[in-house]
Homo-oligomer: A and B are copies of this chain.
Amino acid sequence: MSDKSILDLLKSTTDRRRFLRDGGVAALAVGVAGACKPQAAKSAAATTIQPAGQTGGTMGPHDTAAGTATASADAMDAMHEKGIKAFPAKTAGTGNQLMQPKLDKGVKVFELTAKKIQWETEPGRTVEAWSYNDQVPGPQIRVREGDRVRVILHNQLPESTAIHFHGLELPNAMDGVPFITQPPVKPGQSFTYEFVVPNAGSHMYHSHHNSAKQVGLGLLGAFIVEPREKTSYDNADVDEVFILNDGMHGYTFNGKSFPATQPIVAKLGQKLRIRFMNEGMMIHPMHLHGMHMTVIAKDGWPVPAPWKCDTLNVAPGERWDVMVNCNNKGTWAFHCHILPHAESEHGMFGMVTAVIVNDR
């Protein structure tokens, strides 16, 4: 479990200080081992009445008749707290790492090896994954509109495979659909895709052979195409790819489940761009606390009139780009609002992370 808890990350956040002072730290010290312990110590802190203001709530006095329920509640809360305290938890492996291409006479060359690996989705949960270059999601490919790109796929899987560049308007032979646009790439074989990148935006690459299984197991990644002519959105201070998945690996963001999901960290006043991509089988309405999102693109295409929301429904295969003006300091929960994808009696899990806005 990670030593670098969210509290460490946040120790400079002034909004958090009151909570820590008022009982949060004491509470966090209890953990699961103390689940049955009466909450005397915590209560002492938690019931310290503070003047209610813009930046701090007030905990009232205890109802003394509620002892038994409280003991049971403490046990549940300790589990919830343990998850939060572990966030962002360390796990083996990081997906979606930006990949540097090799250059071959002006062509950007990306080599992707599809193979079976073990993948840790959260501390202590390791699953079989089918990966590109040992990552889930596969390495992030980021090129520019008009670039000539070569993607060399090496198949070390026990099945045939192929890569579809989801969202790119390629020549048909590069579309990656076995028996329609190319033969399947057999185990042990390689296949080379090469094309001039035709359209900008947030796209994806993934298997298009036995895809319910192969994509479900991890054969997917982001294919970001920066436009030839940049807009203000392309100069975001923070630019994050956010790949949603469900199914065989559980509910994941970029291949990890809470508390192993990674927070997005920004400074007050920064512009944050998030590129949502759904590689799963279910919708995931993504809800950001504390700040709204302005939707700027759908499937890589700028929307004609940007619109605002705090909950964005992302369906399988869709990509949505949003901008967040990070004008509200603090640690903001950021999760799928299908609540059973995000929280159980044992605490938060799956599709939960945070956007952390720090002092400038």
Contacts and interface: CB of A to CB of B under 8 A. Distances in A.
B290 A42 contact: no
Interface of A is mostly: mixed
Interface in A191-237: 191-196, 199, 208-213, 215-216
Nearest to A81: B179
A77 to B, nearest CB: 5
A33 interface: no
Interface string A70-89: 10111011001100110000
Contact of A216 (B52, B329, B339): B339
A311 B290 contact: no
Contacts of A344: 210, 212
A76 to B, nearest CB: 6
A308 interface: yes
Contact of A80 (B74, B80, B189, B210): B210
Interface residues of A, number: 132
Interface stretch (A91-99, A125-133, A139-147, A314-322): A314-322
Contacts of A328: 169, 171-172
Contact of A192 (B52, B54, B191): B52
Given A42-B183, A77-B160, A208-B333, 6 more contacts: A23-B183, A56-B173, A59-B185, A66-B187, A211-B339, A212-B343
